[in-house]
Amino acid sequence: MAKVKYYYDPETLSYRKIEASRGHLYKMIVLITLSAAVVMLVGFLVLSQFLKTPDQIALERELEYTKFNLELTNKRADEISEVLNQMQERDNNIYRAYFEANPIPEEQRKAGYGGVNRYKYLEGYDNSKLVTDVTQKLDVLSNQMAVQSRSLDEIVDLAKEKEDMLASIPAIMPIKKGDLSYVASGFKWRMHPILKIRKFHKGMDFKAPTGTPIYASGNGRVSLAQRSATFGKVVYIDHGYGFRTVYAHMSKIAVRRGRRVKRGDIIGYVGNTGRSVGSHLHYEVHKNGVALNPINFYYGDLTPEEFAAMQKAAEKEGKSYD
């Protein structure tokens, strides 16, 4: 119940009841309402610093998910870049070398990404560095893939003109992957197992059981099929275009001198003849009289991942058989 207030009236010499005016009453209501609104607004602003709305929570989750996907994309871009680098290496040093085409300069493969900061518009955000890194990597990859695509188109055109040359190049492993135990020794300096001296190994040794089939790695003509003190039972194939391959330490020769062979024809079987300490195939590739690393000529058999694995195995120090 509201408290009644009085005032002293000197004319009547008595106390009289104070009657509140309607205007005053309205003012009080408005003042109380405004005070309550201010208190509620302040409380909302304070609580909003600690409490999040469902929309804010959903937005934060979406931002975290986006960041996670950007990090995955960044990692995947690095993996693709590594595979592309291997492809570029083989393109310049193998594919183009086959057709005597000039390699593509590194400046051309990565042109157009220096100088002016073309990613300035991405600055000023929470994850600007991550977004910029991913965008830049994807731009570089896009450019490199465009250059590589044009290069492969050029190689296809060269291949159409030189189909016979392409069929003659030693482009597969002389032993099937399924028959191969492991790569025993690669194209490198190593200790000779019999002579006990450091000697450069001009080919690759493929460890496989005696009797495993050996295949011609390209079309050509058998120039030698004989037995020697060093290589034991050995076959030489002249592929033309300056290429020659050697298959040594066979248990049995399946071709004669002068015979024309095609890539994939059986020319002999794995053995342990000549200067050898175990059943294996010693395989060499020569171009214009110079021994080359055979691992660079297995593009018809190996994926980039298998190529990298074989390269690592060939470089590792292991047992040498000849």
Residue 302 DSSP code: -
* Overall domain count for the chain: 3
> Which DSSP string do the residues of 45-67 spell out, in sequence order?
HHHHTT---HHHHHHHHHHHHHH
Q: pTM of the entire structure? A: 0.50
* Residues 199/217, Cβ–Cβ less than 8 Å: no
Q: Does residue 172 lie within any of the structural domains? A: no
Residues 195 and 90 in one domain: no
Q: Do 141 and 258 have their domain in common?
A: no
User: Burial code of 65-93, b = ≥16 C-beta within 10 A, e = fewer?
Assistant: eeeeebeebeeebeeeeeebeebbebbbe
Using CA atoms, how far apart are residues 245 and 249, in angstroms rounded to an integer?
Answer: 14
pLDDT above 70: residue 260: yes
Please tell me the predicted confidence (pLDDT) of residue 46.
66
Instruction: Please tell me whether residues 233 and 303 are part of one structural domain.
Output: yes
At which of 103, 127, 161 does a domain end?
A: 161
Provide the pLDDT for residue 179. Answer: 83
Q: What is the mean pLDDT of residues 43-64?
A: 69
Summarised one tens digit per residue, pLDDT across range 125-159 is 777 777 777 777 787 788 878 887 788 888 777 77
Q: Is residue 266 part of a domain?
A: yes
The answer to whether residues 154 and 222 belong to one domain is no
User: 300-316, pLDDT tens digit by residue?
Assistant: 666 667 766 666 666 66
Any domain includes 115: yes
- 269 falls within a domain: yes
Inside any domain, residue 167:
no
**Cβ 215 vs Cβ 267: under 8 Å:** yes
Q: Which band of pLDDT confidence, cut at 50, 70 and 90, is reported for residue 52?
A: low
Considering the domain architecture, whether residues 276 and 202 belong to the same structural domain is answered as yes
Residues 60 and 37 reside in one and the same domain: no
- Do 64 and 35 reside in the same domain of the chain? no
- 76 domain residue, yes or no: yes
> What is the CATH number for 219?
2.70.70.10
Kindly state whether residues 25 and 135 are assigned to the same domain: no
Evaluate whether 223 touches 238 at the Cβ level (below 8 Å): yes
Cα-only R_g, the chain: 41
End-to-end CA distance of the chain: 115
Report the candidate in 246, 243, 245 with the shortest Cα–Cα distance to residue 233: 246
DSSP tag of 21: P
On whether residue 138 sits in a domain, the answer given is yes
Decide if 101 is inside a domain. yes
Cβ–Cβ < 8 Å for 281, 322 = no
Give CA torsion, residues 35, 41, 44, 49, to 10 deg.
Answer: -120
Residues 68 and 134 in one domain: yes
Predicted confidence band at 287 (pLDDT cuts at 50, 70, 90)? very high
Q: Binning pLDDT at 50, 70 and 90, where does residue 177 land?
A: confident
Quote the domain boundaries for residue 182. Answer: 177-315
**Which pLDDT band holds residue 273 (cuts at 50, 70, 90)?**
very high
Q: Which of 133, 161, 189 is the last residue of a domain?
A: 161
Please list the alpha-helical segments (H only) found in the chain: 22-48, 54-90, 96-98, 106-109, 128-161, 163-168, 304-315
Structural domain ending residue among the three candidates 134, 161, 188? 161
Asked if 40 and 68 sit in the same domain, the reply is: no
Q: In terms of domains, do 70 and 88 share one?
A: yes
Same domain for 301 and 183: yes
Beta bridge partners of 232: 228
